[in-house]
Amino acid sequence: MVGAAPLTSVVGEPLAVARPLSWLLVISFLATGVLAAHTDARERARQLGALTWGVFGLFWLVLVPHFVLVQKSIVEGIGSIAAVPLSLYVGYLLWNGRDSLFTLSKAIGYMGLLYLPFTYLPLLESNPLRKWMIEVVAAQTGTLLSLIGVEPELVRGTSVLSEVPSSDYGYLSTFYFPGNERPITYTIIVACTGVGSISILAGAILAVEAPLGRKARALAVSVPVIYGLNLVRNVFIATMFGQQRMQWFVGTITDLFGTADEQMVSYYIADRLLAQFGSVIALVGITWLVVKVLPEILSLVDDVAYLVTGTEYDLREELTAEGD
């Protein structure tokens, strides 16, 4: 695509820094959680946690160009920008004695520990977990597409959506739609597997203090639902984009996303607007289901709500009072 080389130069080096740094951050977040569990090491945990959150803010700052300029994602762009001051604020609050944030720190560590093996493994040029997950999701997406009468060919190759080379595109994970103004390809990448949303909720579940049995039930409630909804999301995007069913407000959308390719309009509407915002809403709804099984997770919600609003909440107590 036009502008691929400049964008590659903009984000290539930051991503090369962010990927190995992500593992160091995960180790540091988990170490913070371990130290915080011991009273005599609480101050060391506070120092390590505050420092880690500060570096976490810089980590998201590095990734802003990737999400804004390359992915052209409103949700991920806003999220990465907001994560910078919020991370620094968490570090400040933790340093000044808000010990409940130790649980959030541990949750971030678990989230990364679950997610990173599918995205980046140090010292390995080819990631077998990444390949396996992407090709399984692509095959299942293809099966669902065939059930609704949409039958693109599943091939290996480079997606027209990518402006930065990625190893994802060598997998058997690209749907080829002939016809249209020119053939369209839609490639399943890690972000299309649902592993990100699963890691977020699973990390939160594992981090809170609760009986193991209820944690297992919470995972059983959330993981299959997220995975299934993600397959539906892939089918929706592939159909809308591959068959050009959302060529709406063409001039506005091409201007908004900075592209001259009018065939991309259906993709940007289906994925960047509808599916990504829908995924956020779905994750909130699934979290509510988890709360029914594991109310302890509301302690994390309380902290996140405080970071955003500056108001103290005790949602578990409020729900208990409503139940009475």
Rounded CA-CA distance 188/159 in Å is: 9
Rounded CA-CA distance 234/43 in Å is: 46
**Cβ neighbours of 153 (radius 10 Å):** 12
Rounded CA-CA distance 285/272 in Å is: 20
Of the candidates 131, 50, 37, 130, which has an alpha carbon nearest to the alpha carbon of residue 90?
50
Segment holding 174, helix H or strand E = strand 172-177
* Collapsed DSSP state (helix, strand, coil) of residue 184: strand
Name the active-site residue from 46, 130, 233, 272: 233
Between vectors from CA 78 to CA 115 and to CA 116, what angle results, nearest 5°? 10
Rounded CA-CA distance 171/285 in Å is: 33
Backbone angles phi, psi at 182, to 5 degrees: -155, 165
Q: Which residues contact 110 (CB under 8 A, 6 or more apart)?
A: 30, 202, 203, 204, 206, 207
Rounded CA-CA distance 50/101 in Å is: 10
Report how far apart, in Å, the C-alpha atoms of 128 and of each of 194, 200, 230, 237, 308 are. Answer: 17, 22, 21, 26, 38
Whether residue 42 lies in the annotated active site = no
Name the active-site residue from 42, 192, 214, 272: 192
Backbone conformation region of residue 38, classed left if phi is above 0, alpha if psi is from -120 to 50, else beta: beta
Whether residue 130 lies in the annotated active site = no
Q: What is the DSSP string of 39-66?
A: GGGHHHHHHHHHHHHHHHHHHHHHHHHI
Catalytic site positions: 192, 233
